[in-house]
Amino acid sequence: MKHLNKIVVAAFMLLGLSSQAQDDNNKWALTFGANAVDTRFSAASKLEDQFSQFFNARDNWNIIPSVSYLNVSRYVGTGFTFGVTGSVNKISRFVNERVAPSQDYVVTNPGDLNYYAADAVIKYSFMNLIGSKVIDPSLHIGGGYTWLGDESNAGTVNGGLGLTFWFTENVGLSLQSTYKHSFEEDRNEFPSHMQHFAGLTFKFGGKDTDGDGIYDKDDACPEVAGPKEFNGCPDTDGDKIIDKDDACPDVAGLAEFQGCPDTDGDGVADKDDACPDVAGLKSMNGCPDTDGDGVTDKSDKCPTVKGPAENGGCPWPDTDGDGVLDKDDRCVDVKGTVANNGCPEMSEEQVLKLNAYAKTILFNSGKASFKKETFPVLQAIAAILKEFPSSNFTIEGHTDSDGKDAMNQKLSEDRAAAVKNYLIENGIDAARLTSAGYGETKPIDTNKTAKGKANNRRVEVKLVK
């Protein structure tokens, strides 16, 4: 029988460790405190007698005034824990069986026997089932080996109930009663008995790197402290968007903008808003465009009047009021026509007037030099040309038929060039003028009379269209 007991005890001890309501976070626990041994339970012959003086510590319990047990345990999952317990005591109260049913149980001192026990326990906690975080009832079974005095020792099969009150998540008061059943036939050799335990339990083993009260395995941000509502991740700006998902973690913002603010409420996040303090358009990167000309107010020189971007958001001016904008007007300060790019157009009447002046240009005989009385005429012609700055002209020289043809050709060319050069020297753009000589080839009158020859010797100014 003793060998059978030892085999049973060894099998239970191989099962491992026990616990005091550990969990996945704090898998380990250490419990220490006092234990009491009561032999009356096995002395009673009836069930009601076994429990009639269950808590009669003064008469029946064996207690030593010091820490007398130590338990180390580990959580293995789904409410189960395994552990080992070592305990010591001194047996000075041994409850004997009654000789007759009418007699009382006699308590004797067997000689202050030393008591040593090593036990393995499988425990199941009901704390999660009842939904409590403070009260932790439990049921346990196990086995162990006990030494009583110098000669008695035996294996036991154990079972019992426990109750732990958790003061904090990691510290609790543990109470436990265990029935240790001995297979010895003579209880005087080694009795079955109750062993009661009371001690403090400390859970440990959980890792909380950032110290935010959330264990690393449950912490979405294990290295940065954060509140439980965000699974341990910080929300620095308090906008309910955790920093790792917040594009603006230091400034409170809106979820639609990934945690960034929209100060002016224009639907453009401040970080993308070129005008964060003034409501604007998304198409303008959050800046306003009051006049709707496609130029933001901050870049618009005329923010309340529509104008093209090329002119800084201002409308193009029409200085001379001729309906041609200055940017297209070749004569900005003089009214003209659209057809002539804003410059005035010469009428046929004005062309005739111009040529009437030209025909009065007088040259020294046979030369390309001007007579003195011609200079006012040339100045009048220059003044007319200046009135039409976008018009181009060609100056033609003509002679009568006197003299050789070659000489007349050269003389007509030189006289036309002389007029052109005078006009250029007096402010007419050279690009507007050309000159040509036709000699005696284009007469306008007869060369048989002095009057006709005088009409043929002429300069004409023609408008180039």
User: Which ranges in the chain are annotated with CATH 3.30.1330.60?
Assistant: 348-464
What's the token pair of residue 2? 């003793």
User: Which ranges in the chain are annotated with CATH 2.40.160.20?
Assistant: 2-204
- Topology of domain 348-464 in CATH is 60s Ribosomal Protein L30; Chain: A; (3.30.1330)
Q: pTM of the prediction? A: 0.53
pLDDT of residue 10: 37
- CATH of region 2-204, choose from 2.40.160.20, 3.20.20.140, 2.160.20.60, 3.40.50.10490: 2.40.160.20
| Residues 205-255 pLDDT 10s | 888 888 888 888 888 898 898 898 888 899 989 899 998 988 999 899 898
pLDDT of residue 151: 86
State the average pLDDT over residues 295-319: 89
State the average pLDDT over residues 292-312: 89
Q: Which amino acid is at 223?
A: E
Radius of gyration of the chain (CA): 61
State the average pLDDT over residues 300-325: 88
What letter does residue 62 receive in the DSSP assignment?
E
**Range of lowest pLDDT (16-30, 353-367, 424-438):** 16-30
| Residues 406-459 pLDDT 10s | 999 999 999 999 999 999 999 999 999 999 999 999 999 999 999 999 999 999
